[in-house]
Structure 1
Amino acid sequence: MKGRVLALLGIVLCAFSLRSAVASLSPVVELIGEDFAVPSAVLGVIGTLPPVCFALFGILTPLLERLLGIEKLTVIALVAITAGLVGRGFAGDSIGLLAATALVFAGVGMGNILLPPLVKKFFPERIGLMMTLYTTAMAVSTFLPPLVAVPVADAAGWRFSLAMWAAFSLAGVIPWILMLVRPPAVAAAERTSPRERVDDAAFVETGPVATAPTTRRLFSRLVRIPLVWALALTFGTSATMAYVSFAWLPSILVDSAGVDAATAGFLLSLWAFIGLPASLIVPVLVVRFQATRALFVFGSVCALAGLLGIMLAPLPQLLWLWMVLFGLVGLLFPLSLVLISIRSRTSESAVLLSSFVQSAGYVLAAIFPVLVGILHDVTDTWIVPLIAVAAVLVLTFPAGMIAGRRGTIEDEWERRHGAW
């Protein structure tokens, strides 16, 4: 029992650290600029670092996990985040800030991949509940840093404002170290088997236990399974909406609706806040009631309605409605993470599935913010870029339907090619 409590603390603290590490920098960039110059080129690189690092370390993480084990690699990821956050607080120039930020995102990239398999390994019979807890922690840590970063910086300086978030990632290291130093026999006894106390709905999704083949063999199989690509496109759509919104939504609202920067920032926070209730309800609805397709359709259609509202009726008094509707695309993020856990039979295959899905998804997310900027520069309007964003939701709709099909990647392979 003690081991599962430690795993619970470790998972929640890790989840909180992944988003707070990303969201705590941009609010204080202007204050940093008062101490040393931060060129636009450096800010541009920092802006593209998250999806690039997430994709790169998404590929490397399964290889490292096979060598080190999932708990040790989680410790390494959290230590990297901690060191990077402290390093940002001590940065003396823009290059130091960039290097420290890259270290942060390297750790976050590993943590992104490891969390769904950690849930599957330690809580196979409580996937819905655990996904609710950790996606809620991620949602809270998305909108909390922008709210407190500037007041803390005004009171204690921007260096403290950046470095203070390291306390959470450092605290997240402690449960995993305690897990690692336990005697092997105790650890094995405390770990729940995937067949123990499994809810009926969850068992339908997870299926029987299988032994994962080697990393290279499994990756070669993943690319041949349509379900895997459907999961990747579903996750990629969610990530694309997020990075496009954080990069361009305030500018779109200022230019299209004529609101001031403060109002645009508040509306962006409203858009992000919608992810909190989504993180509370989606995992349970998926695991307990298999509502995958209904949630995907609802989130996508509402997001399309919000985008159409921004394009066709960008009236200040209606912007809150368009932000709420568009913000419901946040349903797709916890939905994608839950599917990574329940569309694989073992924690080992979940690591590789998580790696493939998130790496491919973040490649898409890295492309679209740049594409939106190019389309805006070429057309001198936001209509064409918004149409391109809406097209992503429409074109990936079939992928959401395939992702909602019950079963695992192992089931899919066995139906098509025989024994796993």
Structure 2
Amino acid sequence: MSTVRPLWRGRALALLGIVLVAFSLRSAVASLSPVIDHIARDFPMSPVVIGLIGAAPPVCFALFGIITPLFERRFGLERVAVVAIGLMSAGLLLRGLAVDSTSLLAATAVVFAGVGSGNVLLPPLVKKYFADRLGVMMTVYSTTMAISTFLPPLVAVPIADSLGWRVSLGVWGAFAAMALVPWVTMLLTGRTRTEPEPEPEPVDRPLVRESTAQDAVAVSTGPISTASANPRIFGRLWRLPLAWALAIVFAASSSMAYASFAWMPTMLVDIGGVTPATAGFLLSAFALVGLPCSMLVPILVVRFQATRPLFFFAVGAGLVGLAGLLFFPRIALALWVMIFGLTAIMFPLSLVLLSIRARTAESAVALSGFVQSIGYGVAALFPLVLGLLHETTGGWQVPLMVLAGGLIVACPAGWIAGRRQTIEDEWEQRHGRW
């Protein structure tokens, strides 16, 4: 049994490094779209290019979620983390130096190569250095990510107005570069060894049986594991409606988020008649709604089995928000944006379900890989499709209806995902012994 230590004792550098990396993971996503109008004054930004930039995060999350564990096993957590942070820093700084849409897109790809790796590496880094304070650190980590989601849209346009869009983009690279300092220092001084971790639980212990609210918060903040999924289990998931339902719910959640981060500021300027600064503020408000969701949803799911009520509340709120943006964009614009922001409920809901819909850690890893690879693959299409529809139709009515259609199509999946059974239970009902 491990001794509980103060967070900072002997690991202050790791604490600082984790907080700085967590901040950079989301600020990289949220800092570009509010200043697209400023960039377009210097060189053309077609809807297709903006759509590709919006598609970059989920594509890189899916790709580097597979690649990163291979490098981590070979070179170690800290070394690969330094490379990932270096890519983020370089890409964010290069975005501020872009001379055309192609170089901006290339820099964005570099950014999200680092972010995709960081998403995978941060949960095991937390586990390695703070195994005795996992719940507290996961809360710190998730709260930092939530803050860094709504802060960049809030300040991006004011900085661009006063100092230029290049400074507005590049300043986030400086924050990311600061995250290199603690990890490089730890590597150079040999402080990457930690006290032995508590003995792990047996893999055949059901994850759903003794979950606590603190466990739920920890689960909701990142991937289940960076271990490779069992190919046998992964192959069976293709035949299970529950696995597909979870993938569709995750896809709906990710699609709403990344489509919004790619297009919401531009859309609000066009349909709401607001300034770019106000549009950035509204995107910040959209992201802020996700903060209480990430803290409350896991508790409601684990303690009260509220999967279906939460899912359909999120879908209903999303449809109301989209209807307001579609029919009454000049009336209560902020209200419609924040109501639509309640679709953020589906993200922590999806991640908690990845744990409680599997009996063992091995099954949870396979389920996580299946769900996230499909979900991010679908989410990568939405920003690009919305850009093409906007360019073709010259308006935002059709893209808004496509978003609404995505929520409606996910409804049967949400109902199936609410069944109180695991993927093993479903397999045994359909095909016999797991």
Which TM-score tier does this pair reach, normalised by the shorter chain? 0.7 to 0.9
Equivalent residues in 2 for 1:221-300, closer than 5 Å: 221-250=236-265, 252-253=267-268, 256=271, 263-300=278-315
- Closer, same or farther: CA 220–12 of 1 in aligned 2, 3 Å: farther
Equivalent residues in 2 for 1:105-124, closer than 5 Å: 105-115=112-122
Give the residue type in structure 1 aligned to 2:380. A
- Closer, same or farther: CA 26–260 of 1 in aligned 2, 3 Å: closer
Question: What do the CA deviations read for 1:115-153 (whole angstroms, capped 9, x no partner)?
Answer: 556667777897765554433322211221122234445
Of residues 21, 28, 47, the one that matches 1:21 is 28
Give the residue type in structure 2 aligned to 1:271. F
- Give distance in 2, aligned partners of 1:111 and 1:375: 32
- Give distance in 2, aligned partners of 1:368 and 1:413: 32
- 1:83 to 2:90 alignment: yes
Equivalent residues in 2 for 1:64-79, closer than 5 Å: 64-68=71-75, 72-79=79-86
Contact 1:342–1:408 (8 Å) recurs in 2: yes
- Give distance in 2, aligned partners of 1:136 and 1:54: 20
- Give distance in 2, aligned partners of 1:28 and 1:337: 31
Contact 2:34–2:280 (8 Å) recurs in 1: no
1:418: how far off? 7.0
- Closer, same or farther: CA 407–106 of 1 in aligned 2, 3 Å: farther
Which structure has greater helix proportion? 1
1:174: how far off? 5.6
Partner of 2:324: 309
Partner of 2:353: 339
Identity %, equivalent residues: 57
- Give distance in 2, aligned partners of 1:181 and 1:349: 38
Contact 1:302–1:329 (8 Å) recurs in 2: yes
Equivalent residues in 2 for 1:316-395, closer than 5 Å: 316-343=330-357, 353-376=367-390, 382-395=396-409
- Give distance in 2, aligned partners of 1:315 and 1:93: 32
- 1:53 to 2:60 alignment: yes
Residue 211 of structure 2 aligns to a residue whose secondary structure is helix
- Closer, same or farther: CA 111–320 of 1 in aligned 2, 3 Å: same
Contact 1:257–1:315 (8 Å) recurs in 2: yes
Contact 2:95–2:107 (8 Å) recurs in 1: yes
Contact 2:13–2:183 (8 Å) recurs in 1: yes
- Give distance in 2, aligned partners of 1:78 and 1:117: 15
- Closer, same or farther: CA 86–257 of 1 in aligned 2, 3 Å: closer
Give the residue type in structure 2 aligned to 1:79. G
Give the residue type in structure 2 aligned to 1:232. A
1:106: how far off? 0.8
1:237: how far off? 0.7
Give the RMSD, CA atoms, in angstroms. 4.3
- Give distance in 2, aligned partners of 1:3 and 1:44: 45
- Give distance in 2, aligned partners of 1:97 and 1:382: 24
Partner of 1:140: 147
Question: What do the CA deviations read for 1:311-369 (whole angstroms, capped 9, x no partner)?
Answer: 34x05333333222211111112322333455567777666544433332122122223
1:232: how far off? 2.0
- Closer, same or farther: CA 287–194 of 1 in aligned 2, 3 Å: farther
Question: What do the CA deviations read for 1:67-93 (whole angstroms, capped 9, x no partner)?
Answer: 455555444322321232233345566
Contact 1:81–1:108 (8 Å) recurs in 2: yes
1:54: how far off? 2.6
Give the residue type in structure 1 aligned to 2:211. A
Contact 2:128–2:197 (8 Å) recurs in 1: no
Structure 2 segments unaligned to the other structure (5+ residues): 220-224
Of residues 149, 159, 166, the one that matches 2:156 is 149
- Give distance in 2, aligned partners of 1:341 and 1:5: 30
- Closer, same or farther: CA 78–285 of 1 in aligned 2, 3 Å: farther
- Closer, same or farther: CA 378–262 of 1 in aligned 2, 3 Å: same
1:63: how far off? 4.1
- Give distance in 1, aligned partners of 2:83 and 2:246: 27
- Closer, same or farther: CA 173–348 of 1 in aligned 2, 3 Å: farther
Contact 2:30–2:261 (8 Å) recurs in 1: no
Partner of 1:98: 105
- Give distance in 2, aligned partners of 1:116 and 1:414: 32
Give the residue type in structure 1 aligned to 2:403. V
- Give distance in 2, aligned partners of 1:366 and 1:387: 18
Equivalent residues in 2 for 1:152-231, closer than 5 Å: 152-153=159-160, 158-173=165-180, 178=186, 187=194, 189-191=196-198, 193-194=200-201, 200-202=210-212, 216-231=231-246
Residue 189 of structure 1 aligns to a residue whose secondary structure is coil
- Give distance in 1, aligned partners of 2:165 and 2:390: 33
- Give distance in 2, aligned partners of 1:411 and 1:121: 32
Partner of 2:222: none
- Give distance in 2, aligned partners of 1:416 and 1:179: 51
- Closer, same or farther: CA 338–114 of 1 in aligned 2, 3 Å: farther
- Give distance in 2, aligned partners of 1:344 and 1:116: 19
- Closer, same or farther: CA 412–370 of 1 in aligned 2, 3 Å: same
Residue 148 of structure 1 aligns to a residue whose secondary structure is helix
Contact 2:55–2:381 (8 Å) recurs in 1: no
